[in-house]
Amino acid sequence: MSASHPLAASEQNALFRILRALFGPSNHNVLRAAQHLFNTATLAETEALLTDLRRCNRRIQELLAGLAGGVSLAAKGWLRKLLEKLAEELGSAAFSMESPACRNVLAAHRRARILMTFM
């Protein structure tokens, strides 16, 4: 694993909003307390989670495709380019997850890996 580097405060805030939307309100306090520790490894693990979610959740797939514009979702690093837009969309009251079982299974599988990036 390559060395992780800190994220800008605005990136940490956007990533917090994305993770809160993906993991649900029960993880709010843990994520908020660790937000200042989010780094490039946290970003990479979150990107991997979203890539997996794209495979089983049509709404996530459509959302990411719509936000991507000219950004390739196949190349690593795409999440950093879409952080703020994705945080806004996932946090909007209009967005709801399709197939919550998919999200729950993947979030549970990846949650520990994401938490380990800043502990």
Token pair recorded at residue 19: 């993770």
- Contact (CB, 8 A) for 22 and 100: no
pLDDT of residue 117: 95
pLDDT of residue 101: 79
Matching residue, tokens 């952080």: 83
What does pTM read for this prediction? 0.87
Residue 57 gets which letter from DSSP? -
Residues 100-110 pLDDT 10s: 777 788 888 89
> Residues in the chain with pLDDT < 50?
none
pLDDT of residue 2: 64
18 vs 65: CA distance, rounded Å: 16
